[in-house]
Amino acid sequence: MTEWFQSWFNDDYLLLYPHRNAAEAAQLVSLIGEHTQWTSGWRVLDVGCGPGRHAVALEGAGLRPVGLDLSSALLRRARQVTSAPLVRADMRRLPIRAGSMDACLSLFTSFGYFESDEEHAATLAGMTATLRPGGWFVMDFLNAAQVRSHVAPVAGPLVPGERGSHLRKYLSADQRYVIKEIHLADGRLFNERVRLYHATELEAMLAAAGITVEQRFGDYQGARCIDGSPRALLMGRAA
Ligand SMILES: C[S@@+](CC[C@H](N)C(=O)[O-])C[C@H]1O[C@@H](n2cnc3c(N)ncnc32)[C@H](O)[C@@H]1O
C-alpha cells in the first residue's frame, strides 16, 4: 500500500507551499545556530530535507549538511540549489552511521506521518542515534495545542488554496491526527495526515530517545512556546 507521504511530496507540494521559502529557512537556521552555537564544519543531518532550502542556509553558515529524504522529486529540486550530499532513504531506516553527526534536524513538520506511536518513537530513536555525545537534536513541529483549538473536528466546506486548489482540515475520528484534504485544480486528491503530538509529548518522546530538551520556541523569531504559538520548536542535546 502506498502511504500518503510517498505520493504527496512531489512538485505539486512545492506549488502549494510557496511561502515556505529560502528566507523562512534562513531565519530558522539562524535561530538554531544562535542557540546551539554550532561551529563551522559541523556535520548536520537534515531528515526530510525536501527541496533543500535549509541545506542551502546551513552551507551558507559554514556547516556540512547532509540532506535525507524519501522523495526523488524533491531531492532533484534540492540538487539544483545545494552541493550538500543528498541521500534518498526512509527516515524509519536511516543509512547513517551511529554517532557520526554533530546535529540532527527535523524541520517544518517532517515527522508524525506514521500509523503507530511505536513507529514514531522508533523513528526518533533512529534519528537521535546518529548524534555524537553532546550533539544537538532540533524538532520543528506543528503546535498541536494550536491546531486542536483552530481545526474543526469534522470536515467543513472546502476553501480556496494556491493554484486553483481547494483545501479543508479536520481531526481524525479518534482526534489523534490532523488531516488536510487537498483537491488540486486538475481533480487529483491528496490527504496530509499528521499525528498531533503536543510539545510536552514530543519532549517526553525525545527524553526516551536520550535527548534532554534545553530550548523551546513557538515561532522562528524565537518567541516562547505557548498553546497559541504557530510552532513547537524544541532543541536538545544527546547524553
Ligand atoms: C513538510 S515537508 C518539509 C520539507 C523540508 N524540511 C522543508 O521544510 O522544506 C516533509 C518532508 O519529509 C519527507 N518525508 C516524508 N516521509 C518521509 C520518510 N518516511 N522518510 C524520509 N523523508 C520523508 C517528504 O518527502 C518531505 O520532503
pLDDT 10s digits, 140-171: 999 999 999 999 898 989 999 999 999 999 99
Using DSSP, state whether 101 is helix, strand or coil: strand
CA gap 38, 56 in Å, rounded: 16
Provide the pLDDT for residue 113: 98
CA of 41 to the centre of ligand 1 (A): 24
Question: Tens digits of per-residue pLDDT, 201-234?
Answer: 999 999 999 999 999 999 999 999 999 999 999 9
Q: Is the pTM of this model over 0.85?
A: yes
C-alpha cell at 223: 518567541
CA gap 167, 146 in Å, rounded: 19
* Close Cβ partners of 208 (under 8 Å, ≥ 6 residues apart): 121, 124, 125
Query: Is the separation of the CB atoms in 199 and 234 below 8 Å?
Result: yes
Provide the pLDDT for residue 39: 96
- Residues having CB closer than 6 A to ligand 1 are 5, 9, 20, 48-51, 53, 69-71, 74, 90-92, 107-110, 113
Instruction: Tell me the residue type at 224.
Output: R
The pLDDT profile of the chain, 239 residues, written as one tens digit per residue, is 899 999 999 999 998 888 889 999 999 999 999 999 999 999 999 999 999 999 999 999 999 999 999 999 999 999 999 999 999 999 999 999 999 999 999 999 999 999 999 999 999 999 999 999 999 999 999 999 999 999 989 898 999 999 999 999 999 999 999 999 999 999 999 999 999 999 999 999 999 999 999 999 999 999 999 999 999 999 999 99
CA gap 61, 110 in Å, rounded: 22
Exposed (0-12), middle (13-18) or buried (19+): which is 133, by Cβ within 10 Å?
exposed
Provide the pLDDT for residue 18: 80
C-alpha cell at 143: 503546535
CA of 203 to the centre of ligand 1 (A): 21
Q: Give the DSSP H/E element, type plus range, for residue 42.
A: none
Closest ligand 1 atom to 48 CA: 12
CA of 1 to the centre of ligand 1 (A): 19
Using DSSP, state whether 32 is helix, strand or coil: helix
Query: Is the separation of the CB atoms in 45 and 68 below 8 Å?
Result: yes
